[in-house]
Amino acid sequence: MAQKNTNKLYSPVAVSEDITAAKTLDKYDTGKIFRLKNSDGNGYQITLPAVTAVESGWFARFVIGTPPSMFATAYTIVAPAAVIHGMAIPAGDGGGSDGASTGGTGVTTITLNFQSPIGDVATLVCDGTYYYTSIVSSGVAASTLTSP
């Protein structure tokens, strides 16, 4: 009962923000849920702050709101250095292919391509050294973790 009342008092909700064009995030964007949308089929680049420019514990979530079109620009989430570690978990059978993984070597770029439907999500947490990511995607080829 007390817990329920406390929840009513604080009513925790995440700040949700639509992105429709290239954007550079800053330390004040921590805790947000970003919906990635476009009106012309093209994705764009989201630039993360340097790990030293945010507080340890900075976190954000990116949800596909509008998938990019085939042969169009994908959504990319880019760190200033190769400090992203993590993996992509495909919801479906990989059919012999693995989901993306950094395999112990940091990368700069998360790419969410045209095979990412509405609802695919990438979560990032920063500890001041690395960004840790976990991507949950519908298809095994929907996302990549690379240093282009």
Partner 1 sequence: MSENLNKLFSPVLVIEDLSDSTKTIDKYDTGKIFTLSRALGITISLPNVADVESGFFVRFVVKVAPTNGSGIGYLINVTSGDGDNLHGTVVVSEDTAGGSTSGTATDVVTFVKASAEIGDFVDLTTDGTYWYASGHASLAASLTYT
Determine the interface stretch with partner 1 among 13-21, 44-52, 67-75, 110-118 (rule: CB under 8 A). Answer: 13-21
Phi then psi dihedrals of residue 107, to 5 deg: -130, 170
In order of 9, 20, 98, 120, 140, the CA distances from 89 in angstroms are: 36, 25, 9, 10, 8
* 23-62 residues near partner 1, rule: CB under 8 A: 27-32, 55-59
Q: Does 140 bind partner 1 (CB under 8 A)?
A: yes
Residue 76 Cβ vs partner 1, minimum distance, rounded to whole Å: 19
Q: Quote the least distance from Cβ 65 to partner 1, whole Å.
A: 17
Burial 25-36 (b: 16+ CB within 10 A, else e): beeebbebebbb
Binding residues (CB under 8 A) for partner 1: these are 3, 15-17, 27-32, 55-59, 85-90, 93-104, 106, 125, 127-130, 132-134, 140
